Structure 1
Amino acid sequence: MTDPNRLTLFYSPQTRATGMRVLLEELGAPYDLHVLNMKAGEQRQPAYLAINPLGKVPAIRRGDALVTEQVAITIYLADLFPGAGLAPSLDDPLRGPYLRWIAYYGSTFEPAVVDRSMQREPGPAEMSPYADYDTMLGALEAQLATGPYLLGDRFTAADVLWGIALNWTLNFGLVPKKDAFVRYAELVTARPAFRRVDLADAEMAAEHAAAVGG
């Protein structure tokens, strides 16, 4: 009998979904992968658009609960498995900063990085969700300087989100290789959970490319 509470992660390798798989591994959570070959356009087929009309991964399902968006999934999963200790409790003084930096990723960092990648001029600082690129990165650098993790000595789900994002953006030249960013990305990606998923992703990505003649 299928467990109605078992998690299903809608997934494609070497995408934003990678971080959510790493988080599941860090949590020790039981999950299944529903793999989409994005090189073959499977994320644009009606079956998946019924899951996420934007045709984006990740998405996660548990019973009747369906969650999309990295930020929401990060919060949801870490709270779902409190025994793993990756989310400060509601009465923990770190809960506010934890939520702040998770939200900062989606509402501030991502828009800035996309504008930078597309070589688009940001809007006026008073209208831009990230003020300006340098200010946005400066606030992050200052926070990481308190390290070793985002919230000091405590490793949380926020570090999975940010560590993998910085690793990716550093590799693609979208973020400058400042010591705080490089050190932090190396710290998070050296963890066994990331190494397991990264290896599996490389194999899966090669299979997907071969399936479409790439």
Structure 2
Amino acid sequence: MITLYHSPKTRSTRIVALLKELDALEAVRIAVVTTARTDGSGGRDARNPHPEGKVPVLDHDGVLVRESSAIVQYLAELFPQAGLSVPPGDPRRGAYLGWLAWYAGVLEPVILFEAAGLSHPLLSATFRDNPTAQDRLAGALTQSPFLLGDRFTAADLLLHSPYAWFGKPGVPAIDAWVDRCADRPGARYATAFDAEHAPG
């Protein structure tokens, strides 16, 4: 059995969107749980197996997969018929894995640093900064509609998600890409799912 532990309107929303894109909603059970939120609401849910009480976490027959980029890769490869992953041997495989890792190691940190008003030479030397990250994305997206060409992949689903949450950055190539990704069946499904399962 495969179970996704999900709390509406959190980072796990993008995994719900991925399940729709993978046509895996019948194969993966979505368990809606509570989690502590930055506004002080919510709290840890005893049903959630994540060691820190966070979401998303995937339980596949007792094997836990944590962190969005790992879960995205795991699920996209578990359901390859949807064509959202890039398999070994494909010349785009390196770029695909690089984008997934770049999301966790660069994009999300620099967006959060900027949102928190944090700036330090050590941070920018290690993680870059948001303008640099935007330049990297825009450079890729001026060449093609999606990160790896004409085809939407799990990398697009993951990397557009912070902009869908925080708002588009005002960079034309990125804004148009975010709009394309947000208009996908997965994003629309996840928005409706969260509205139906929102607490209160």
Normalised TM-score (structure 2) = 0.89
1:71 aligns with 2:53: no
Equivalent residue letter for 1:198: T
Measure the CA separation in 1 of the matches of 2:14 and 2:124. Answer: 31
Shift of 1:157: 0.8
Structure with higher RCO (Cα < 8 A, 6+ apart): 2
Q: 2: distance between equivalents of 1:101 and 1:134? A: 17
Contact 2:86 2:92 in 1 (8 A): yes
Considering only CA atoms, is the larger Rg found in Structure 1 or Structure 2? 1
In the alignment, structure 1 residue 124 sits paired with structure 2 residue 119: no
Pairing of 1:18-167 with structure 2 (within 5 A) = 18-29=13-24, 30-38=27-35, 41-42=42-43, 44-48=44-48, 51-124=49-122, 127-128=125-126, 130-167=127-164
Identity %: 37
Does the CA-based 8 Å contact 2:17-2:187 persist in structure 1?
yes
Give the counterpart letter for 1:8 in structure 2. Answer: T
- In structure 2, stretches of 5+ residues that fail to align are none
**Matched positions, count:** 194
Amino acid at match of 1:165: P
Contact 1:115–1:122 (CA<8 Å) still a contact in 2? Answer: no
Following superposition, the deviation at residue 8 of structure 1 comes to 0.5
Indicate how the Cα distance of structure 1 residues 89 and 125 shifts in structure 2: closer, same or farther if over 3 A, else same. Answer: same
Counterpart of 1:3? none
CA distance in 2, matches of 1:67, 1:155: 23
CA distance in 1, matches of 2:195, 2:46: 27
2:6 paired residue number? 11
Measured in 2, the distance between the counterparts of 1:145 and 1:109 equals 18
Normalised to the residue count of structure 1, the TM-score between the two structures is 0.84
Inter-CA distance 201–106: structure 2 relative to 1 (3 Å threshold): same
Unaligned runs of 5+ in 1: 1-5
Q: 1:85 to 1:177 in 2, by over 3 A?
A: same
CA distance in 2: counterparts of 1:14 and 1:133, whole angstroms? 23
